[in-house]
Amino acid sequence: MQTVSEQEIRNAIRTILVPEHNLAMIHSSSGTFGFTDCVDIWKEEADRAGYTIALPTFSWSYCKSRMYHYKNTPAETGLLPELFRRQKNVIRGKNPIFSFAGYGVRAGELIAHPGETCWGKDTPFDYINNHDGLLIMFGVGCEYLTFYHHIEEMKLVPYHYFKTFDGRADYGEGFIDVAPKYHVRSLELPSGSDFSLVHNALEKENKMRIIRLGGGVIRVLKAREVYVLGCQLIERDPYVFLKDKKAYFAALNKSGLA
């Protein structure tokens, strides 16, 4: 691992936060750069560039515990989101499974989650798509881009289905009943996804900015371009993002669910 300096990280973030946009959703593994805590740099550079930024503070453990507290439930998406959500003037969304923490003038709008489902309409994914936002892979590969699942849900791919996770959540005024709907895949079928068609095509078309930092890579995509291409591919083939279509259909036919 090649450790980079604070100034090198700051310079890279300045390169990312271009003035043509003002929203960014960041997936991160800052340890890739040998520099685990760069929260203050992100906030300072977001202020300088007039950006609102959001990091995923997902808590899949809710699916088992069925309990969520917007302040006390830790982020299960790495160190940087966990440090970020605890910062002053950072606010966290309410979805018990797929919350985001946001910072900036539009943070409240970006992380608000009035939608009925985890990834679909009126979620942070929908907001960043409709407001010309950036998707930033800060030291992680595009296979970790959760935005792809937004496309799958919006297009209602046939290998996923909705499952409701009833539980309890506390948003600062005591626990209340909640029932988030999660667009899940069948655990009985080989329905894992592979979205490399999208990010490989965007890279080939020079629609993916690649920034080298130490021994790691930062990738920057426009949410709208990812969404449009993903939708086009699904419209041609609803099963295009299955990792192994042959295995899926063989298991589906054997199960008698076809």
Output the tens digit of pLDDT for each of the chain's 258 residues: 567 888 999 999 999 999 999 999 999 886 777 666 789 999 999 999 999 999 999 999 999 999 999 999 999 998 899 999 999 999 999 999 999 999 999 999 999 887 889 999 999 999 999 999 999 999 899 999 999 999 999 999 999 999 999 999 999 999 999 999 999 998 889 999 999 999 999 999 999 999 999 888 999 999 999 999 999 999 999 999 999 999 999 999 888 665
Residue 24 near residue 16, CB atoms below 8 Å: yes
Q: Which two tokens stand for residue 201?
A: 């095509």
Q: Which two tokens stand for residue 47?
A: 């202020």
Question: How far from the centroid of its chain's Cα atoms is residue 86's Cα?
Answer: 19
Among 199, 182, 181, 197, CA closest to 242 = 197
Report the alpha-carbon distance of residue 190 to residue 192 in Å, rounded: 6
pTM (2 d.p.): 0.93
Report the alpha-carbon distance of residue 197 to residue 129 in Å, rounded: 19
Q: Which two tokens stand for residue 191?
A: 């329905």
Number of CB atoms found within 10 A of residue 207's CB: 15
Which pLDDT belongs to residue 1?
56
Instruction: Give the Cα-Cα-Cα angle 83, 87, 92 (nearest 5 degrees).
Output: 85
Q: Strand, coil or helix: what is 194?
A: coil
Beta-strand pair 216-222/52-56: unpaired
* C-alpha gyration radius of the chain: 19
Among 80, 91, 85, 84, CA closest to 32 = 80
Q: What backbone torsions phi and psi does residue 252 show, to the nearest 5 degrees? A: -65, -45
Residue 115 near residue 125, CB atoms below 8 Å: no
Residue 183 near residue 175, CB atoms below 8 Å: no
